Amino acid sequence: MRTQVAIIGAGPAGLLLGQLLSRAGIDNVIVEQRSPEYVLGRIRAGILESVTVDALERAGVAARLHDEGLPHEGIELSFNGQRHRIDVHALTGRRVTVYGQTEVTRDLMAARQAGGIPTIYGAEDVSLHDFDGTRPLVRYRKDGITHEIQCDYIAGCDGFHGVSRQSAPAGSTKLFERVYPFGWLGILSDTPPVSEELIYAGHERGFALCSMRSRTRSRYYVQVPSSERVEDWSDERFWDELRSRLDTQAAESLVTGPSIEKSIAPLRSFVCEPMRFGSLFLAGDAAHIVPPTGAKGLNLAASDVLYLADALIERYQKNDPRELDSYSEKCLRRIWKAERFSWWMTSLLHRFPDADAFSVRIQQAELGYLVGSEAACRALAENYVGLPY
Q: Please indicate, yes or no, if residue 116 is contained in any of the structural domains.
A: yes
Number of structural domains (the chain) is 2
Q: What CATH number is attached to the domain comprising 339?
A: 3.50.50.60
Catalytic residue among 153, 220, 307, 384: 384
Say yes or no: 250 and 379 in one domain: yes
Contact 49, 69 (CB under 8 A): no
Confidence category of residue 388, pLDDT binned at 50, 70, 90? confident
Catalytic residue among 288, 291, 292, 350: 292
Q: Please indicate, yes or no, if residue 164 is contained in any of the structural domains.
A: yes
Say yes or no: 321 and 367 in one domain: no
pLDDT, tens only, 26-58: 999 999 999 999 999 877 778 999 999 999 999
Say yes or no: 187 and 317 in one domain: no
Q: Please indicate, yes or no, if residue 27 is contained in any of the structural domains.
A: yes
Give Cα 222 to chain centroid, integer Å.
19
* d(C-alpha 300, C-alpha 355), whole Å: 30
Say yes or no: 245 and 157 in one domain: no
Q: Please indicate, yes or no, if residue 172 is contained in any of the structural domains.
A: yes
What's the domain range around 260?
A: 180-266+351-385
Catalytic residue among 99, 153, 180, 200: 200
Say yes or no: 315 and 373 in one domain: no
Say yes or no: 123 and 244 in one domain: no
Say yes or no: 130 and 77 in one domain: yes
Neighbours of 259 (CB within 10 A): 19
Q: Please indicate, yes or no, if residue 88 is contained in any of the structural domains.
A: no
* Residue 384 falls in the annotated catalytic set: yes
* Residue 292 falls in the annotated catalytic set: yes
Q: Which of 345, 361, 376 is the last residue of a domain?
A: 345
Say yes or no: 284 and 246 in one domain: no
Say yes or no: 313 and 363 in one domain: no
Q: Please indicate, yes or no, if residue 191 is contained in any of the structural domains.
A: yes
Say yes or no: 333 and 357 in one domain: no
pLDDT of 162 reads 97
Q: Please indicate, yes or no, if residue 87 is contained in any of the structural domains.
A: no
Say yes or no: 287 and 140 in one domain: yes
Say yes or no: 23 and 67 in one domain: yes
Q: Quick one: residue 60, left, alpha or beta (phi over 0 = left, psi -120 to 50 = alpha)?
A: left
Q: Is the pLDDT of residue 147 over 80?
A: yes
* Residue 193 falls in the annotated catalytic set: no
* Residue 174 falls in the annotated catalytic set: no
pLDDT, tens only, 259-314: 999 999 999 999 999 999 999 999 999 999 999 999 999 999 999 999 999 999 99
Q: What CATH number is attached to the domain comprising 239?
A: 3.30.9.10
Contact 22, 114 (CB under 8 A): no
* Residue 318 falls in the annotated catalytic set: no
Catalytic residue among 203, 296, 330, 350: 296
Catalytic residue among 12, 72, 140, 288: 72
pLDDT, tens only, 168-195: 999 999 999 999 999 999 999 999 999 9
Q: What is the 3-state secondary structure (H, E, C) of the chain?
A: CECCEEEECCCHHHHHHHHHHHHCCCCEEEECCCCHHHHHHCCCCCEECHHHHHHHHHCCCCHHHHHHCEEECCEEEEECCEEEEECHHHHHCCCEEECCHHHHHHHHHHHHHHCCCCEECCCEEEEEECCCCCCCEEEEEECCEEEEEECCEEEECCCCCCHHHHCCCCCCCEEEEEEEEEEEEEEEECCCCCCCCCEEECCCCCCEEEEECCCCCEEEEEEEECCCCHHHCCHHHHHHHHHHCCCHHHHHHCCCCCEEEEEEEEEEEEEEECCEECCEEECHHHCEECCHHHCCHHHHHHHHHHHHHHHHHHHHHHCCCHHHHCHHHHHHHHHHHHHHHHHHHHHHHCCCCCCCHHHHHHHHHHHHHHHHCHHHHHHHHHHHHCCCC
